[in-house]
Amino acid sequence: MIRVSAALIFDDSGHFLVAQRSRGKLAGKWEFPGGKIEPNENEKEAITREMMEELAISVLPEKIVGVFSHTYAEQEIELTLVHCSFCGRQEDLVSDGSHLQHSWIDFEQAEDFDFAPLDREIVEFLKNAPI
């Protein structure tokens, strides 16, 4: 099982951050940004590191929203979604190449995005979850 941490970041308008993968089996799919949890690292430490590495932004992890799992081609992913405060400006986001683009969307707009299967499940969960 691969353990990953992903960020749930809202802007002042209630839009949340998503990013489009640039490589791998899920290239072109949209996701909540994040990455693998390294040995001796917890979920909040991982998301802080990943956001700086992948998008060059600082975040303040606040709380774990949920833990979700999905099996992709015989590989199980356990994703911990961490609600984070964004410590910066939207125009500061710069991809390290992990993503083709990013967007701030609301739940209605999410229907138009081709999310990775696990991330689609999370979007559906979030529509009814108090954050």
**How many angstroms separate the CA atoms of 4 and 88, rounded?**
23
Across 29-33, 54-58, 87-91, 106-110, least confident range: 87-91
pLDDT at 2 over 90: yes
pLDDT, the chain, mean: 92
Q: Return the residue matching tokens 């356990």.
A: 78
Higher pLDDT, 97 or 81: 81
- CB neighbour burial string for 81-106, b if at least 16 within 10 angstroms, e if fewer: bbbbebeeeeeebebeebbeebebbe
Find the DSSP H helices in the chain: 43-55, 107-110, 117-128
pTM confidence score: 0.93
Q: Please answer whether residues 107 and 123 qualify as being in contact, where contact means their C-beta atoms are separated by less than 8 angstroms.
A: yes
Q: Which CATH class is domain 2-128?
A: alpha beta
